[in-house]
Amino acid sequence: MGFFSKLFKGPEVDMEKSRANAQKMRELFNDAVEDGNSYQLIFGYTEDVSRFNYGFVHGSKTKIGNLIVGWNEAAETIVAVPTVPDLSGRGEPTFYRRSEILKAYRNKYPTDAFVIYPDKKGYIAINAYDWLDDESLYVYVSQEKELAAFTDFFMNRFATK
């Protein structure tokens, strides 16, 4: 194996750990949300922790609120459940129903966030990526298919045109 192939080889992926964390996410979400199994899930985070101050990470320059984000296509609803990187607990869910929000769009720069304005007083920017592996800040999870499904739902069914 040459120098460059070593240099560009990604981190070793622990899919068993990723699957176990996805299962823990499901259990926490179902515990928080009635009819939780009707929602697809993705892990995300927000730097706007005014509403999501459950177990945010200390020691980083910004306060990061970890979120289990569920979406239900039929109900056009997104639910954010705050958690912590080790998934040892959760806060209370916040529901974003398409019919009740002021504005929703994807902000490509600078952070590529899914932004929801439930009213004129505040907003939430959900950052969601296909792979998160910094366990001090985020849940260790691979979610490439989930991110593609969430992006499709958000852009085609949820975001305002």
pLDDT digits (tens, 9 = 90+) for 28-66: 999 999 999 999 999 998 875 565 655 544 444 556 788
Q: List the domain boundaries for the chain.
A: 13-158
Beta strands across the sheet bearing 77-83: 40-46, 65-72, 77-83, 94-97
CATH topology (fold) of 13-158? PH-domain like (2.30.29)
Query: pLDDT per residue over 88-103, tens digit each?
Result: 999 899 999 999 999 9
Q: What is the mean predicted confidence (pLDDT) over 117-145? A: 85
> For residues 156 and 5, what is the distance between their CA atoms, to the nearest angstrom?
38
Query: Model-level pTM?
Result: 0.84
Cis peptide before 110 (omega within 30 of 0): yes
Decide if 106 contacts 112 (C-beta within 8 A). Answer: yes
Q: In the Cβ-directed half-sphere of 142, how many Cα atoms lie within 13 Å? A: 10
